[in-house]
Every structure is written in C-alpha cells, then in structure tokens.
Amino acid sequence: MAARHILAIDQGTTSSRAILFDASLGVVASAQREFPQHFPASGWVEHEPEDIWDSVLATAREAIAKGGLSAADIAGIGITNQRETTLIWDRRTGRAIHRAIVWQDRRTAKACANLVAAGHEELVAERTGLRIDPYFSATKIAWLLDNVPGARRRAEAGELAFGTIDCFLLWRLTGGAVHATDATNAARTMLFDIGRGVWDSDLLELFGIPVALLPQVRDCSAHFGDTAPELFGAPIAVRGMAGDQQAATIGQACFSPGMVKSTYGTGCFALLNTGTDMVRSRNRLLTTIAYRLNGETTYALEGAIFIAGASVQWMRDMLKIFENSSDAGALAAKADPTQNVYLVPAFVGLGAPWWDSAARGSLTGLTRNTGPAELAQAALESVSYQTRDLIDAMRKDWKGAHDTVLRVDGGMVASDFTMQFLADILNTPVDRPTIL
C-alpha cells in the first residue's frame, strides 16, 4: 500500500505540535506539548534546545501512534518553525553550545543601535528587506560567538553549525546528515540577499560571522533528506520546510498578489503577497520572501507584532485571572462597556511599524471598578489595534493591498470575541479556517 499521509511538525515559541493528515487533507491525529520559557535577564528570552527536540520527537511519535500508522504510511514530513530563533551546535556531537536565543530576545539592542548609528541600515535593507533589529538572527549569532568561550575560534575552524529551529530539527532528524534550511528562514537572518538568493559576503563581514557556520539554502518544497531509521522505525522523507508565517501563507492559499494572511500565535504576523514585485516599504514594514518554489521567488510585505497570544498567557500565568487561555474570550465578553481600558503589550519592545526595542508594556484607563473582565478585554483588543496598524501601513505601501479578505490562523482565532472585534475595527471580512 502506497504511503498516503503527511506528518506536519509545527515547532512554535511556546509549544511543539504534530498533525497527521490523510490524502484528502483531513486530520487523522495530532499531539501538542508545551515546553519551558527561560528569562535570564530583562528582555532576554531563551529556550533549551533539548526541550525543543524532545517535544518535537514525542509529539511526532504520539501523532503517528494515535493514527494507528507506521513510518511506511507517511509520504513525507513538513516542518514549520519559529523563525529567527538562533542556535549554534557542535557538528560532531549535535549538542548546542548555548540555549537558543528566541526571536523575542532584545539583548542585542545596543549592538543594533550602534550599527544604525554607523550608517549600515541602508545596506541591510537593500540586501535583506529587513531593518537592523535584535529580532533577526545575525546579531544573536554574533553574541553567541562573542560570549561563549571558544565559540568564534571553533566556528572559524568549521567545528560549529548555525541554524534556525527548522535547520536544527532537520540535522537531528537526519542524524546529522543534512545541514540545510529553506529560503524563507534564510531570509530572516539579516544575512541573506533576497534578490540574488545567496548568503551575502558583505553582511557576513559586517556582523563578523564565518561562512563555515551557515547551512545550504533550498526551495521550500525540496527533498531535504530522510529521517534516521531508529527515530520512527523506518526512514521518512522530509519534503518541505518554511518559517511559520510563510507556511501559514501557503496553507491559507495566499498565492495571488494582494492576498493577506495574519497569524495570531505568541506574536502576530501579517503577510501581503506582492508576487514577483519586491516592494520596498515606506512605512516601516519588512520586505521578505513569501515562498520559493521551483527556483522562483515570490515576495511579501510583512508586519511583525511581537506580543499577541503571549499577552493572554501573561494574564493567565502571572496575573492568574483565568485558568485557561481559552477562557479569556468569555471573560472579556462580561467587561463593563462604559470602561475604556487599553493594553500596550510592549513586553519585549514594539515591532512594526514602530520598531522601538526600548518600549515596554503599559495599561491605561484603569478605574477603581476595573477587574479581570476588563483586563481580558484589553489584552484581546490590543491584538486587533496592532493589526490595524499593520494593514494601514500595507495599504499605504502597495496599491494592491486594498479591499481584500483577511485570512487568519493561529491559536487566538478560536476566540469569537477577538475575531469579531478584528473584523469590526478593520471593516473587512475575516476568514477563519476550519482547522484551528
């Protein structure tokens, strides 16, 4: 019997998930596991690489078992991942030299400010479509090389490997046989020329990063390699990789210029397909790769919001105003309509279109009668206000961005309260998928 199933691995910021699809794209089985977040200093966010690997392997095996299938039934694995999160590991052992530095981490803000002050912003924007910001991988790599004893020497000697999480997982899944990433993840490093589709030697020199660290860059739909037989009982081909926001763009079928999707997970990320047109933003958005298939690159404008669902998690874990994140919508619906409470969720700075790494969160409009319901409402509404900023910027940047349906995905879209408020504030239809 031919293999007719696809195993999707979604490695996110707070959890890893595996979903098994059949030939008609119906969900056969799924599994999800959260893992710890580490905050060693103000503005620092780290993940333990072994926690990530363990959660991915466990959820993949669980989904296969739940589906009553074996490796022989699976035609391929697709991997999507939190994008800019940065890892460096030993090529011999496969062990990371330090915890992963998460995309939210702001420890390199001063280094980025110095690069801007030195006049390098135009070069970076021209080659990569990105702003010089701690969000992206380049300064995280440099920090690891400069702060882990011996790392720079070992990197120059070819003993170490860099990768975003997709790359690290591929290395582990293939037993260290393949060191590769895809074009969408490469485009988020601040080291990749998105026009020529190559690692840029000028940027590598600017950030002080040895070329020996870097993975091969392939199309999103390439055959990336086969899993080590001992992981799932037999090899399974890894046939696709893309950063989470780009994967969502593909999954939402935003294949025509002008189509927009917005993902609501830990953060919020809106992508506007601009086709073969590499639009240079005049409104502080990012120009990036939407996907690369058959050697042809499709571009996008992207707006990145650092905190979305994470604000709900903050209220759940730190303020303890509800037990489950899914309770936030029902609680918000009970809020006093005469109060106007607003949350600015700048816990790790502000992303597009503000790009203020020094900003911090605030609550305003509090009264003596403000309670959990009003706080929950403020957290959920803050996501929509930020999305409005992004959509307004897209409409200013590109004439094809008007009058489009917003396709949404991510954990927060299960909230009827949030999605209705989003549709109202944007004055546009919001299209929610059947698989949440």
Tell me the pLDDT tens digit for each residue of 364-412. Answer: 999 999 999 999 999 999 999 999 988 888 888 887 666 678 899 888 8
Nearest C-alpha neighbor of 63 from the set 130, 8, 4: 8
pTM comes to 0.87
What is residue 349's predicted lDDT score, i.e. its pLDDT? 85
User: Do the Cβ atoms of 283 and 210 come closer than 8 Å?
Assistant: no
**Residue 322: CB partners within 8 Å, gap ≥ 6?**
315, 316, 328, 331, 372, 376
CA distance 409 to 387: 13
Beta strands in 111-210 (DSSP E): 160-163, 180-182, 192-193, 198-199
User: Do the Cβ atoms of 44 and 37 come closer than 8 Å?
Assistant: no
User: Do the Cβ atoms of 352 and 394 come closer than 8 Å?
Assistant: no
**Residue 132 per-residue DSSP state:** S
Alpha helices, DSSP H, located in 175-314: 183-186, 201-207, 229-232, 244-251, 309-314
What is residue 355's predicted lDDT score, i.e. its pLDDT? 81
Task: Sketch out the chain's domains with CATH numbers.
Answer: 5-243 (3.30.420.40), 252-436 (3.30.420.40)
What is residue 111's predicted lDDT score, i.e. its pLDDT? 96
Q: What is the pLDDT of residues 225-283, one digit of tens each?
A: 999 999 999 999 999 999 999 998 998 888 988 888 998 888 888 999 999 989 888 88
Q: What is the mean pLDDT, run by run of 10 residues, along the chain of 436 residues?
A: 86 94 92 94 94 97 95 95 96 96 93 96 95 94 97 96 98 97 97 96 97 97 96 96 92 88 86 90 90 94 87 90 86 92 90 84 93 93 91 83 77 88 90 77
CA distance 214 to 338: 55
CB-neighbour burial class of residue 197 (10 A; exposed 0-12, middle 13-18, buried 19+): middle
Residue with tokens 């199309």: 219
**Helix (H) / strand (E) containing 125:** helix 121-128
CA distance 404 to 256: 11
What is residue 39's predicted lDDT score, i.e. its pLDDT? 94
For 166, 183, 185, 258, 303, the CA distances from 297, given in Å and listed in that order, are 19, 9, 13, 16, 19
Count Cα neighbours of 257 within 13 Å in the Cβ-side half-sphere. Answer: 12
**Residue 318 per-residue DSSP state:** I
